[in-house]
Amino acid sequence: MKRVKRAFRYRFCPTDAQAAELSRTFGCVRKVYNMALDARTEAWTRQERVDYNQTSTMLTAWKRTEELAYLGEVSSVPLQQALRHLQVAFTNFFGKRSRYPRFKSRKKSRRSAEYTTSGFRFREGKLTLAKMAEPLDIVWSRPLPEGAKPSTVTVSQDAAGRWFVSMLCDDMITPAPPTRGAVAIDLGITSLVTLSTGEKITNPRHERKDRARLAKAQRELSRKAKGDGANRAKARRKVARVHARIADRRRDFLHKLTTRLVRENQTVVIEDLTVGNMVKNHTLARAVTDAAWTGMRTMLEYKSAWYGRELVVVDRWFPSSKLCGVCGTIRAKLPLAVRTWTCDCGTVHDRDVNAAKNILAAGLAVSVCGAGVRPQREPSRTGQSAMKQKPPRREP
């Protein structure tokens, strides 16, 4: 058995007072985050850096001003956490792992507040947040582990108006039996993923129907006149509800898939699709796939750590689809519409399966020999590093 941190997420029904308190808190979290970002950006243009401690001092000063005194009315814990999140965002930016942090928008950003132990009480299975008299009315869809005590609690509300509480707890995991298997995953649009074993996993069966429903709801929303407030709000909620259902189903599906892949294999190889590398493509299918991919990578990362497996990340510019896995020839062009192709050496390739096999070969080379091994580079992309390795997060 192995001790790991695990998040348990539940829905809850707030009282009117709790809903009001949380809405106020979400607003303050956003305000503090944006003001701190503003201060750090302003310093950045002067080639100076503002760190977490300095923003924390600023927060104290803001609360003392008349126009921002309301920040002192909500729990200070989520506000401090917002500053910590901003610190992480900057650390990722300086480490070239993500873009420059962006402002939280009232409409588009996730409404959430994070509480550490000083901001909540957990007793006899009841969770009470700071500034609240009553515990939250949580729908316990599954039990917390025996004797679990949350170390962090995150409360959020999605666009469909549903309330969630996520509790980070210590949990025990049974290690997966040792295996020598290795698998690579190629991300697709027609199939959600293709495995190097040749297996193609399509989008969950509800997805097509859900998308049709979403398109219909969006058409209805765009038909509502701008002035017609009530009907427009109703149409917008409808769109949000369909979105929420799609997201829920996809999360369930990805959990099952990633658990299976990690349990069955010692090494899992994926392509790097970090935000910085992402190609701008605004089609709906692409946006949906990118979101799924980000979620899937996160799951693969922590599940590999849980089960003592290795996750290898191969650079995206590795020419996985155009490289013949048999003879090593790289094709100059391979339009996206071409699903199968024949190499000069006579091998007939399924585009996605070939790509997955190449990703596997590249990943295993990295895994065995370290990052010094480079596969052939795509001629048009010389100068780009062809591969990079994310060190596997293995615990002793």
Residues lying near Zn ion in the complex (CB under 5 A) are found at 324, 326-327, 329, 343, 345, 347
Task: Please give the C-alpha separations between residue 290 and each of 192, 282, 390, in angstroms, as whole numbers.
Answer: 10, 11, 20
Task: Please give the C-alpha separations between residue 383 and each of 210, 238, 277, 380, in angstroms, as whole numbers.
Answer: 43, 48, 15, 9
Q: Estimate the share of the chain in helix, then strand, then coil, as percent rounded to the nearest 5.
A: 45, 20, 35
Closest approach of Cβ 331 to Zn ion, in Å? 9
- HSE (side-chain half, CA atoms, 13 Å) at 19: 9
Residue 111 tokens, joined: 């409404």
Say whether 299 sits in a helix, a strand or coil: helix
Q: What are phi and psi of 156, to 5 degrees?
A: -145, 165
Closest approach of Cβ 304 to Zn ion, in Å? 32
Where does the chain have alpha helices with state H?
16-45, 52-64, 76-94, 207-223, 229-264, 284-307, 351-369
Instruction: Please report how the helices 229-264 and 207-223 are oriented relative to each other, as an axis angle in degrees rounded to 10.
Output: 160
Catalytic residue among 114, 186, 210, 301: 186
Instruction: Please report how the helices 229-264 and 284-307 are oriented relative to each other, as an axis angle in degrees rounded to 10.
Output: 40
How many C-beta atoms surround the C-beta of residue 313 within 10 A? 24
Q: Enumerate residues 6+ apart whose C-beta is below 8 A from 395.
A: 2, 305, 308
Closest approach of Cβ 346 to Zn ion, in Å? 7
Say whether 43 sits in a helix, a strand or coil: helix
User: Would you say the C-alpha torsion 56, 59, 60, 61 has a positive or negative sign?
Assistant: positive
Active site residue 38: no
Closest approach of Cβ 345 to Zn ion, in Å? 3
Asked if residues 121 and 166 have their Cβ atoms less than 8 Å apart, the reply is no
Closest approach of Cβ 325 to Zn ion, in Å? 8
116 or 347: CB nearest Zn ion? 347
196 or 258: CB nearest Zn ion? 196
Active site residue 137: no
Catalytic residue among 21, 114, 271, 301: 271
291 or 326: CB nearest Zn ion? 326
Closest approach of Cβ 332 to Zn ion, in Å? 14
Say whether 283 sits in a helix, a strand or coil: coil
Residue 387 tokens, joined: 């591969």
Q: What angle do CA 82, 83, 89 make, to 5 degrees?
A: 90
Residue with tokens 């089960």: 307
13 or 327: CB nearest Zn ion? 327
Active site residue 352: yes
Amino acid (1-letter code) at residue 88 = V
Closest approach of Cβ 344 to Zn ion, in Å? 6
37 or 324: CB nearest Zn ion? 324
35 or 324: CB nearest Zn ion? 324
297 or 349: CB nearest Zn ion? 349
Closest approach of Cβ 327 to Zn ion, in Å? 3
161 or 328: CB nearest Zn ion? 328
Tell me the C-alpha distance between 178 and 333, whole Å.
Answer: 41
Strand partners, 154: 114, 166
What are the residue numbers of the active site?
A: 186, 271, 352
